[in-house]
């Protein structure tokens, strides 16, 4: 006999401020930032000395020393050392995927509590030597005499000494994510002006959220930083329009540094639990995770690299018995303004929905006033693995104060998408009545 699934509560989440790469966190590692965000969560919800059944998360840009990142981060916090740490990577969907995996365990009764966490730094990105020079170093290390060690460097050319930065291109295509998104923008005929407007709105909404105090319990100080340094309260459409193309230099190019997320350092966390565990500790229940879905598309064969969430959402809506319009809030990760606009246009397109989702009618349009109402990645920045947890924590707070239902959509490298549905306690109670 099957067991009845339990509700999965989102107690809440916090993050450290996000900072542009090679600025205020230039000397911070993923371990530093992840531990800082976790300790912020511990302090916020009185978890000092508490055992959490699992902490799951990771980072996309890592050193080999980071193989046990989540566990090492736990040991750098005030959580009980009995708390396991599991390191997970799914590109930009990492911390949302980790939340969904832990949520499934809570729902089945395997665990009672979990923390989803993500961190990323491109300031501390690993830089390695060329393969040829690395081989010389190994041979020198293995040499028994000084002469043997010197022989390893015979014929050394200056070019071998050039460091190799981390790859930023998709291995299967050789194109960067920005180049892929530029192709999507061209395919879907997304104008530059529309992208700039979306970026402008994201910054204005994010700045307003700080000004009204909304971010006070979502962002914790770290390394002397109190606020995201990518946020531009004084941004103008005129300034955005003056920026040069970033990925396509011809007249066809529409993506710029202003309507694309910058390389960003930061970390975010979110606490999940069974209702019983939360109530026993007098912790709030801000929202519930009710559905999740991930999907991958054939981007190598021509599907847009960042379009997989469109299909994941469709599959998730079918399982939930909902339509795209049945939501009070939409949190669509703004990797690029063009990606969000391509997604919205695809859901409205009968041919796309028929081909990729098997739908006889399009999913339709959404009320744009419900989209990313407190700003999103274009404003705050995008530390790859941290973005999902940031969005879950933000949506949980929105639902706790406003009620209703929210949809999350996160695109990732590798042609994948991770999506989720969250609902407020009042909505859940109304359904149960």
Alpha carbon distances (Å) from 303 to 118, 133, 361: 28, 38, 20
411 is catalytic: yes
Q: Are 385 and 95 in contact (CB under 8 A)?
A: yes
**Rounded to the nearest 5°, which phi and psi values hold at 113?**
-150, 155
Token pair for residue 268?
């975010």
Q: In a 10 Å sphere around its CB, with 0-12 CB exposed, 13-18 middle and 19+ buried, how is residue 368 labelled?
A: exposed
Residues 6+ apart with CB under 8 A from 214: 374, 397
Alpha carbon distances (Å) from 397 to 55, 215, 247, 329, 422: 21, 10, 36, 12, 11
92 is catalytic: yes
Q: Are 408 and 93 in contact (CB under 8 A)?
A: no
Residue 212's CB is within 10 A of a number of other CB atoms, namely: 10
**Rounded to the nearest 5°, which phi and psi values hold at 76?**
-95, 10
Q: Are 4 and 193 in contact (CB under 8 A)?
A: no
Which is catalytic among the residues 51, 63, 92, 353? 92
How far is 246 from 178, CA to CA, in rounded Å? 8
How far is 365 from 349, CA to CA, in rounded Å? 10
**Rounded to the nearest 5°, which phi and psi values hold at 48?**
-60, 125
Token pair for residue 290?
């009710």
Residue 171's CB is within 10 A of a number of other CB atoms, namely: 8
353 is catalytic: no
Alpha carbon distances (Å) from 361 to 172, 347, 349, 354, 358: 33, 10, 9, 7, 9
Which is catalytic among the residues 19, 342, 353, 411? 411
Question: Comparing C-alpha atoms, which of 419, 221, 174 is closest to residue 320?
Answer: 419
How far is 162 from 387, CA to CA, in rounded Å? 33
Helix or strand holding residue 274 (H, E): strand 264-274
DSSP 227: S
Helix or strand holding residue 96 (H, E): helix 94-108
Q: Which residues form the catalytic set? A: 92, 382, 411
């Amino acid at each position: 006999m099957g067991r009845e699934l339990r509700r999965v509560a989102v107690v809440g989440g916090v993050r450290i401020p996000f900072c542009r790469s090679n600025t205020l966190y230039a000397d911070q590692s993923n371990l530093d930032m992840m531990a800082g965000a976790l300790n912020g969560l511990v302090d916020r919800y009185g978890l000092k000395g508490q055992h959490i059944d699992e902490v799951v998360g990771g980072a996309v840009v890592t050193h080999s020393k980071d193989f046990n990142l989540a566990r090492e981060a736990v040991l750098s916090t005030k959580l009980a050392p009995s708390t396991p740490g599991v390191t997970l990577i799914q590109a930009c969907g990492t911390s949302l995927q980790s939340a969904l995996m832990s949520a499934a365990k809570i729902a089945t009764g395997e665990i009672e509590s979990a923390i989803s966490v993500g961190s990323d730094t491109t300031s501390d990105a690993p830089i390695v030597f060329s393969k040829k020079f690395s081989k010389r170093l190994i041979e020198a290390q293995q040499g028994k005499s000084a002469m043997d060690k010197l022989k390893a460097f015979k014929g050394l050319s200056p070019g071998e000494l050039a460091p190799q930065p981390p790859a930023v291109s998709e291995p299967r295509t050789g194109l960067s994510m920005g180049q892929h998104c530029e192709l999507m923008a061209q395919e879907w005929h997304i104008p530059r002006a529309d992208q700039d407007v979306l970026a402008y709105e994201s910054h204005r909404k994010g700045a307003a959220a700080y000004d009204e105090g909304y971010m006070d319990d979502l962002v914790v100080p770290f390394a002397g930083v109190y606020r995201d340094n990518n946020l531009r309260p004084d941004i103008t459409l005129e300034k955005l329009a003056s920026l040069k193309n970033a990925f396509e230099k011809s007249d066809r190019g529409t993506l710029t540094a202003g309507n694309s997320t910058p390389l960003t350092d930061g970390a975010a966390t979110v606490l999940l639990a069974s209702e019983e565990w939360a109530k026993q500790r007098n912790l709030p229940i801000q929202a519930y995770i009710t559905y999740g879905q991930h999907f991958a598309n054939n981007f190598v064969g021509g599907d847009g690299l960042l379009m997989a969430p469109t299909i994941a959402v469709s599959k998730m809506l079918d399982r939930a018995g909902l339509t795209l319009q049945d939501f009070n809030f939409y949190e669509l990760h703004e990797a690029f303004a063009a990606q969000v606009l391509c997604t919205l246009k695809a859901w409205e397109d009968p041919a796309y929905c028929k081909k990729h989702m098997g739908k006889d009618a399009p999913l339709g349009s959404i009320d744009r006033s419900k989209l990313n109402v407190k700003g999103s990645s274009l404003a705050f920045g995008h530390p790859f693995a941290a973005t999902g947890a940031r969005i879950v924590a933000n949506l949980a707070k929105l639902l706790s104060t406003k009620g209703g239902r929210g949809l999350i959509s996160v695109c990732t490298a590798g042609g994948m998408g991770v999506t989720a549905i969250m609902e407020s306690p009042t909505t859940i109670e109304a359904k149960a009545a």
